[in-house]
Amino acid sequence: MAKIQLQVNGSSITVEAEATLLSVLREQLELTGTKYGCGEGQCGACTVLIDGRARRSCQTPASAAVNKKITTIEGLAQGEHLHPLQEAFLAEGAMQCAYCTSGMIMSAASLLSSNANPSEAEIVRHMDGNICRCGTHPRIVAAIRRAANAAKESGR
Amino acid sequence: MSERYEFEMPLEPERYELTAPPAYHFELDRRDWFKFLGAGLLVVCVMKNVKAAQETGGAKKPAGEALPEEIGAWLHLGEDGIVTVYTGKVEMGQNIRTSLSQAVAEELHVAMGKIRMVMGDTQLTPFDRGTFGSLTTPTMNRQLRKVAAAARNLLVELAATQWKVERKDLVAADGRVSDAAGKRSVEYAALVKGQQLTQAVPADETLAPAAQWKVAGQPLPKVDGRDFVTGKHKYPSDQKLPEMLYGKIVRPSAFNATLVSVDTSEAEKMPGVTVVHDGNFIGVAAASSVLAARAAALIKAEWKAEPQPGQKEVFEYLKKNVTNAGEPVGLATHHDAGSVEPAMAAADHRLAQTYTVQYIAHTPLEPRAALAEWNGDHLTVWTGTQRPFGVRSELAAAFHMPEDHVRVLMPDTGSGYGGKHTGETAIEAARLARAAKKPVKVTWTREEEFTWAYFRPAGVIEVASGMLKDGTITAWEFHNYNSGASGFETPYDVANQRIAFHATKAPLRQGSYRGLAATANHFARETHMDELAHVVKMEPLEFRMKNLKDERLRAVYQAAAKKFGWGRAKSAAGQGFGVAGGYEKGGYVATCVEVAVDRGTGEVKIARVVTVFECGAIVNPDGLRNQIEGANIMALGGALFEAVEFENGRILNGLMSLYRVPRFRDIPPIESVMLERKDLPSMGAGETPLMGVAPAIGNAIFDATGVRLRGLPLIPNGLKIS
């Protein structure tokens, strides 16, 4: 099988090409924080950042991510310092089973990078492609608002 | 003041349980235990006189019949001061890993950080029937409090003996025993150092009352939350072993199909691929999921299936195919009081209506997954299930082996909602692993989950009632076909009642769903109550209260009305208000809903939901609020638009793009109010907060438009106003 080079969480890694980015991350790189939820880009559980933008890794051929910067949930924290969104999800208790959480945080990270202070309506619109079955949506919206405020206060 | 410890909690059987729990007899061998656990203190909770499973009212099991004596849980305090608690309950998002830890911390007087919960591992934890029925809090939480209290008392006794003082002069706090004068103090860890102490919980063990709780009762966050926001936690579908293969099953063309012919030769030519054809089972295992899918696609299988009923005729089918057979022992199927016919004849008003609910799918975000590994004739399976011990039985039966050769582990899983009681995936992975002679993981696709799991049953509910001119209900007849008996009784005071559940043949594989049939039965009853109020031109809440004596239910209704501002005048065209409530599994709920209906387009907007819930003393207020909010949101899906479409043995909308679940844009402002009764035992909260949502929405739509909706989902395609 053909091999390709991917840039994942700051490392350059050689993987087999014939697969979705999701299965490469989960099976070849053991980055299982990125989840399978539906396989058709409808639930957002597999969301990663590709060059800073939220992308559904189940709909992305691994070969399409070559020469791009891929960030997964495992690469979001700076060492022991959690990303403001990770802190905010904990502070708001914005999870139950938390299977959707990685995808929620990655989608939200994409939102905050393009809109540092989103309104509630903007959050709802942006996050609508991510499904939470436990029904923690109001807490997720609150967590994203909290992270935005925290970033504002810390002047980031 | 202390709370007497009792196990009077009735265990409600799950309606469609596939296997009976095996009788499990523990032989406790001290040496084996400490070899495994290390030195320290071991406290075991032996449950006595567990009441036989029963629902309230109606046919019951013979009085006095009890399950065998059974061990409920155990706790080990090690020389390092770490407290390890073993329970067969499992974590799938209810946050019981946290609330059970609080129970232990409360009674043992140790920091939360010292507690480790070992859950749902059939080799390490006591037998448990499963995590369902909102039972963890009323049963396991109390058992663990009792175990922890016994451990604390033993530690105090150890210190008293060591120091030759009276027990009453010592206090246990923060993981230490100290004398009241403050002169001497010793860590728990030091007290148990080098010891092998065992203790069964005394029958008269007493517990701190809720009013004195310090750790329980606090809104503590998820104990291992950091693992979840960093992607570190390994769910069942994330499990991996060296040399593990990925499995893929070749599915039949339709439900109940039989295999006519199969050609696996092309798949078998693929290097490194294992192909299994065993009876109706066809599957492959390969080094990656891509290869497994490719191999499975090369298999040519021909299936034959008989014609099967579809969604369009489902309600007629259920009514025509009553069997009244196959009921689990102990489940109430009838409730009768007074005499219905004379009361009906004497009533001033009579009303008969039929209500329906469609099949819906649990749609847990993590589909079923299992990793199986054989070691000689021993099998280990990691899988997402609410019944690890039930899955162990299924595996033992499938492979003709003793249960003690099978170990099932349940890593905290990506939700269940009553949908993960069974072990299909575990069996599939184990079958492939046996053939491949390597560990095999099977993860169902979303389409498989929508098709080959089981569904919440559809149902037809017929309600007939009679009442006096003043709105007093005098006769109540309620018949549920297929959906189930849970919550089918009425909390209202009606002298003459006939309530019955009728089993029928089912066109789809069906099973438990969060709240069981209580959602359907509350929808039918609370919609009918609204219709009756309309007949006598009474305000719907006032009508309910007129017919209601239960103080706890009255209290949640009153609190909901107050929070909602019930009774205020409408302020806009298309606005409507609805209310509904009830009790189930020891919890009391009332929900008020405001809708805004656009009469032109038929669009219905849920403008506001207020839900009040009371379940006794609250163990974790934030966890409870999370459950109430989540239950309300999950309920919106079944209330408004969720329905499984099927025809001739096939699911027609088995994809996330076709089956609509609530999304961010669907979520109204939800205000949840918790009424606390510290004087009452803590009950579960995972299910009952759903119950009021669907009928309150339907009643609000009627209030707004005069259109009465009697089927769930209410508005899959918007509202038609003629």
Q: Write out chain A residues lying below 8 Å of B415, CB-based.
A: 96-97, 99, 133-134
A141 Cβ under 8 Å from any chain B Cβ: yes
Torsion of CA B662, B668, B669, B674, to 10 degrees: -60
Average pLDDT, chain A: 96
> Average pLDDT for residues B622-647, to the nearest whole number?
98
Nearest to B661 among A36, A99, A133 (CB): A133
Which pLDDT tens digit goes with each residue over B233-244? 999 999 999 999
Q: What is the mean pLDDT of chain B?
A: 91
Query: Which residue of chain A comes nearest to B654, CA vs CA?
Result: A38
- Predicted confidence (pLDDT) per residue in B27-44, tens digit: 445 566 677 778 888 887
The stretch B695-715 carries a mean pLDDT of 98
B479 and B462 Cβ atoms separated by less than 8 Å: yes
For residue B67, the model assigns a pLDDT of 31
Model confidence at B199, in pLDDT bands (50, 70, 90)? confident
Going from the N-terminus, what domains does chain A have, and what CATH number goes with each?
3-75 (3.10.20.30), 84-153 (1.10.150.120)
**Which residues from chain A sit within 8 angstroms of residue B365, using beta carbons?**
35, 37, 43, 45, 97, 99-100, 131-133
Tens-place pLDDT, residues B118-148: 999 999 888 888 999 999 999 899 989 999 9
Answer whether A130 sits within 8 Å of B228, measured CB to CB: no
Instruction: Check residue A41 and give its pLDDT.
Output: 98
Q: Could you tell me if B157 and B706 are in contact, meaning their C-beta atoms sit under 8 angstroms apart? A: no
Mean pLDDT of B58-84: 62
CA distance A155 to chain B (A): 23
Cβ-based neighbour number of residue B310 at 10 Å: 16
d(CA B399, CA B434): 10
The 8-class DSSP code of residue B252 comes to P
Show which of residues 48-77 on chain A sit within 8 Å of chain B, judged by CB atoms: 72-74, 76-77
Model confidence at B550: pLDDT above 90: yes
d(Cα B550, Cα B561) in Å, to the nearest integer?
17
Q: What is the pLDDT of residue B331?
A: 57
Q: Is B446 within 8 Å of A38 when comparing Cβ atoms?
A: yes
What SS3 class is residue B552?
A: helix
Contact B384, B441 (CB under 8 A): no
Give the DSSP letter string of B168-188. Answer: GGEEEETTEEEETTSS-EEEH
Angstrom distance (rounded) from CA A31 to CA A27? 8
Q: What is the C-alpha end-to-end distance of chain B, expressed in Å?
A: 63
Indicate whether B22 pLDDT > 60.
Answer: no
pLDDT band at B196 (very low <50, low <70, confident <90, very high): confident
Tokens of B259: 């295999």
Q: Where are the beta strands (DSSP E) in B152-240?
A: 170-173, 176-179, 185-187, 196-200, 206-207
Q: Which domains does chain B have, with CATH numbers?
A: 3-229 (3.30.365.10), 239-305+378-443 (3.30.365.10), 321-359+455-712 (3.30.365.10)
Option in B225, B232, B365 nearest A100 (CB): B365
Helix (H, G, I), strand (E, B) or coil at B257: coil
Separation CA B455–CA B359 (nearest Å): 6
Model confidence at B185: pLDDT above 70: yes
Could you tell me if B2 and B42 are in contact, meaning their C-beta atoms sit under 8 angstroms apart?
no
Task: Check pLDDT > 80 for residue B529.
Answer: yes
In whole angstroms, give the CA distance from residue B291 to residue B298. Answer: 11
For residues A126-139, give the mean pLDDT: 98
Q: Is A33's Cβ below 8 Å from some Cβ in B?
A: yes
- What's the confidence (pLDDT) of residue B126? 87
B365 → closest Cβ in A43, A86, A127: A43
pLDDT in tens, B433-492: 999 999 999 999 999 999 999 999 999 999 999 999 999 999 999 999 999 999 999 999
Residues B374-379 have a mean pLDDT of 97
Chain pair A-B, CB pairs under 8 angstroms: 170
Strands B575-584 and B711-712 come out as: unpaired
- Residue B213, pLDDT > 80, answer yes
CB pair distance less than 8 Å for B634 and A43: no
pLDDT at position B171 over 90: yes
Per-residue pLDDT, B722? 67
